Chains A and B, each alone.
Chain A
Amino acid sequence: MAEAQAPASVAETKDALAAASYLADESAALVSFLAQRLGKPVLVEGPAGVGKTELAKALSRASGRELIRLQCYEGLDEAKALYEWNYRKQLLRIQAGGAQGGWDEVQDDIFSEEFLLERPLMQAIASPEPVVLLIDEIDKTDQEFEAMLLELLSDFQITIPELGQVSATSMPIVVLTSNNSRELTEALKRRCLYLWLDYPEMEREMEIVRLHAPDLSEALTRRLVEVVRMVRALDLKKPPSIAETIDWARTLLLMGSDDIDRETFEQSMSIIVKHRTDIDLVAERVGMKLAESVRPQS
């Protein structure tokens, strides 16, 4: 099994992630480090929009591995996730080669890897280069699907009845994300390292904004993050995610604002708040706290 370059220390992982423009906190860096050293899958849970998927992408950029993504949804089955026999091609093979060779040969032939359609999980296992496998929103699938993943997650192998076991040629980094909409099974959790990501603390969120919108002034960055935190503290249907904070920072840059006053806020609020009822609530609770526009209205 080809061993990819594993980082030597937690700090190194953190730096590598930062270089891939992902500012990891202590626990995220440590878990990413352990995942690479121990070769264990990581289960990332947390509210929507705290950068769970982004962590996997950053890991892929940081380690120079290809990212293979399996987006989960209700009703996802092994034909979509693992592999499927390409029966059209099998059919063609039989009809084309009818004259030559006996039945046995044909049978051996049509159940060979040539006729296998690889789906994301199979791709990740079969890839000659080590990859990062992202299984996104695992909580959207059924429990049966989780059970199917167990073999893959603990042994990095897939059993195909006609072919036998296919083992990983390289050790993938596996990241599973969950929005915690239902309890995952114990068996799945047992095989994973667990990471809970939450909204970042103020300082870290400011750093993140600085990283993605470096032109924004220091004072405005602080103000922006303060307001976003204020909005998150409200009881909203969909609290603003980190990505939306960044979007908002960029918008403010485009608008050329130098402070967040009520007017600017009301104009650009729709970037961080995306529900009709939420907008009313935020306008009422947060908008009122902001200073009236100082610039003369033109």
Chain B
Amino acid sequence: MPSPYGPKADTGPPGLAAKLLGFCEELRSEGVAVGTSEILDAFAALEQVPWESRDDFREALATTIAKSQEDRRLFELLFERWFFRAAEAEAIEREIGETEQRHEGAERLDIDELREQIRQAIVDGDEGQMRDLARLAIAAFGQQGEGSGVVGVDVQRIRRTLELSAGTQPQPADGAAELPPIDRDQLNRFERHLRRELERDLIERTETLPPSRPLAELDRALPTSPTQDLAAVHRAVSQMKRRLATLGHEQRGRRKAQTVDVRRTMRASLETGGVPMHLRYRPKRPRRPEIYVLCDVSTSVTSASVFFLSVLHALHDSFRKLRSFVFIERISEVTEIFEHERDFREIARRISSEGGVADVSGYTDYGRVWLEFLTEISDELDPRSTVIVLGDARTNGREPHAEVFAQVSERAGRLFWLNPEPKLYWNYGDSVMAAYERYCDGAFECWTTRHLENFVNVVAGGVPAAE
């Protein structure tokens, strides 16, 4: 019988191995790096755990396959569909329904009794019991024809009808035993069961599994503007890290004074019977770039500032010696926020709430920013440090203090400027890019990851920067 709801879910070749491989394949398509070695580990792990326990099965897979929190989140989303929709998919395949048995139980129960039982199960934390009761509740409400067809809405509707809420419970009228309070976690657990059972119903009604695709687009549309994605920024930045680290190696040699490495000299002296004939020197440590990033977060660069923040975020992952600052009218160090916070959204929120960079007007004051930067930080600048400015150089008519900027440039080893505006707009209106540009080792337009990569290439490719 052809289904009126479109093609049935493709179950693929039989057997768990194929199933698991398909699952990993789908995880990969969502951007989780699942290697062959991970899959082998997953099989090895599954040999060790009992399969009848849902949690053990899931955790064993998760621990071998999902290697970060982000991966884990995707894992959870997909896992549900691949493994615990399997029974439903099979039922659709064989055209088995369970409508008949379902309503039998519901007739025997009245709402009040059901409510008490559910409360009890929630308090006990009995998962099996909760699942059965969730089914009964759905069946009871299904009879009243109240289903909206949208799972999320139905869950809340059923919860409300059952008068379940977190916190202290209303005491039963007949003065029965006092019920302990339900906390939020416990209630969530029951709601999960409700949701799962409702989804089961939906699958049975429509005879298709929930769609698999939109995950990547909907759920992972991260905070960036549409042109770029965080991962690409991270890639460009990690490339930048390698380039910056090796930059300037060619000039280093044995010109300057070296320190004798006593330990290695002694070791080398073994060859000559303990007489230190060959001096060994301490290797020159590879240059650890110290990077100072100054990022404009004013309204004139709103569209680009999310991009800039994600660049900062990526930089912090790659460089240990990185100090970041945001500025509008004043400058404020945000290194600590980036070091303690991993979640990008949270970082963006904290910067806007704690930065304290806007004084009155909310317009950028570059001149003041340079002065502040110079007085606070400049002692720490040395020829090894690289300063990167992210901003549009629009001073809103205020004094640009280019001479102060020149001092910053003088103290720092290298100074780059990334401007989120096209070159065409530079120096028009209140943009004073030209005043700053001559003190930079390079100024680039930059509002997409492609520009960022270009910046990296130019910086690393040895193309003589403007000076």
Q: A residues within 8 Å of B by Cβ?
A: 9-10, 26-27, 30-31, 33-34, 37-38, 40, 43, 45, 74, 85, 87-88, 90-91, 94-95, 98, 110, 142, 180-183, 186, 189-196, 201-203, 237
Are B48 and A34 touching (Cβ within 8 A)? Answer: yes
Q: B residues within 8 Å of A by Cβ?
A: 33, 35, 37-38, 41, 44-45, 48-50, 55-56, 59-60, 62-64, 66-69, 72, 125, 183, 185, 263, 266-267, 269-270, 273-274, 317, 320, 339-340, 342
In the bound complex, residues from chain A placing their C-beta under 8 Å from that of B41 are 38, 40, 193
Task: Output the nearest chain B residue to A182 by Cβ-Cβ distance.
Answer: B317
In the bound complex, residues from chain A placing their C-beta under 8 Å from that of B269 are 91
User: Can you show 27 pairs from A to B with CB atoms below 8 A apart?
Assistant: A10-B49, A26-B59, A27-B62, A27-B63, A30-B56, A30-B59, A30-B63, A33-B48, A34-B49, A37-B48, A38-B41, A38-B45, A45-B69, A85-B267, A87-B263, A87-B267, A91-B266, A91-B269, A94-B270, A98-B273, A142-B320, A189-B67, A193-B64, A194-B66, A195-B63, A202-B185, A203-B125
Partner of A27 from the list B59, B64, B67, B263 (CB cut-off 8 Å) is B59
Task: Output the nearest chain A residue to B288 by Cβ-Cβ distance.
Answer: A142
Task: Output the nearest chain A residue to B267 by Cβ-Cβ distance.
Answer: A87
Question: What is the CA–CA distance of A133 and B133 in the complex, to the nearest angstrom?
Answer: 46
Task: Output the nearest chain A residue to B125 by Cβ-Cβ distance.
Answer: A203
Are A10 and B342 touching (Cβ within 8 A)? Answer: no
In the bound complex, residues from chain B placing their C-beta under 8 Å from that of A26 are 55-56, 59
Given A181-B339, A189-B68, A201-B185, A91 and B274 contact (CB-CB distance below 8 Å): yes
Partner of A34 from the list B60, B66, B68 (CB cut-off 8 Å) is B60
Task: Output the nearest chain A residue to B316 by Cβ-Cβ distance.
Answer: A182
Are A196 and B49 touching (Cβ within 8 A)? Answer: no
What is the CB-to-nearest-CB distance from B293 to chain A, in angstroms, rounded to a whole number? 17
Q: Count the A-B residue pairs with Cβ separation under 8 angstroms: how many? A: 89
Given A30-B63, A33-B48, A91-B270, A196 and B69 contact (CB-CB distance below 8 Å): yes
Given A38-B41, A87-B266, A91-B274, A194 and B68 contact (CB-CB distance below 8 Å): yes
Task: Output the nearest chain B residue to A42 by Cβ-Cβ distance.
Answer: B63
Are B45 and A34 touching (Cβ within 8 A)? Answer: yes
What is the CB-to-nearest-CB distance from B310 to chain A, in angstroms, rounded to a whole number? 14
In the bound complex, residues from chain B placing their C-beta under 8 Å from that of A10 are 49-50, 56
Are A30 and B60 touching (Cβ within 8 A)? Answer: yes
In the bound complex, residues from chain B placing their C-beta under 8 Å from that of A94 are 270, 273-274
In the bound complex, residues from chain A placing their C-beta under 8 Å from that of B64 are 34, 193-194
What is the CB-to-nearest-CB distance from B282 to chain A, in angstroms, rounded to a whole number? 13
Task: Output the nearest chain A residue to B321 by Cβ-Cβ distance.
Answer: A74
In the bound complex, residues from chain B placing their C-beta under 8 Å from that of A45 are 68-69
Question: What is the CA–CA distance of A186 and B340 in the complex, to the nearest angstrom?
Answer: 22
Question: What is the CA–CA distance of A110 and B340 in the complex, to the nearest angstrom?
Answer: 48
- Return the 6 tightest CB-CB contacts between A and B, nearest first: A189-B67, A194-B67, A30-B59, A37-B48, A193-B63, A27-B59
In the bound complex, residues from chain A placing their C-beta under 8 Å from that of B320 are 74, 142
In the bound complex, residues from chain A placing their C-beta under 8 Å from that of B44 are 38
Partner of B183 from the list A110, A202, A237 (CB cut-off 8 Å) is A202
What is the CB-to-nearest-CB distance from A65 to chain B, in angstroms, rounded to a whole number? 20
Task: Output the nearest chain A residue to B320 by Cβ-Cβ distance.
Answer: A74
In the bound complex, residues from chain A placing their C-beta under 8 Å from that of B125 are 203
Are A31 and B68 touching (Cβ within 8 A)? Answer: no
What is the CB-to-nearest-CB distance from B276 to chain A, in angstroms, rounded to a whole number? 11
Are A194 and B339 touching (Cβ within 8 A)? Answer: no
Are A190 and B317 touching (Cβ within 8 A)? Answer: no
Question: What is the CA–CA distance of A88 and B266 in the complex, to the nearest angstrom?
Answer: 8
Partner of A31 from the list B63, B317, B339 (CB cut-off 8 Å) is B63
Are A186 and B270 touching (Cβ within 8 A)? Answer: no
Are A186 and B33 touching (Cβ within 8 A)? Answer: yes
Question: What is the CA–CA distance of A88 and B267 in the complex, to the nearest angstrom?
Answer: 9
In the bound complex, residues from chain A placing their C-beta under 8 Å from that of B339 are 181
In the bound complex, residues from chain B placing their C-beta under 8 Å from that of A182 are 317
What is the CB-to-nearest-CB distance from A132 to chain B, in angstroms, rounded to a whole number? 18
In the bound complex, residues from chain B placing their C-beta under 8 Å from that of A95 are 273-274
Are A90 and B270 touching (Cβ within 8 A)? Answer: yes
Task: Output the nearest chain A residue to B354 by Cβ-Cβ distance.
Answer: A235
Are B49 and A190 touching (Cβ within 8 A)? Answer: no
Interface centre among B49, B270, B340 (most CB of A within 10 A): B270
Question: What is the CA–CA distance of A30 and B68 in the complex, to the nearest angstrom?
Answer: 17
In the bound complex, residues from chain A placing their C-beta under 8 Å from that of B270 are 87, 90-91, 94, 110
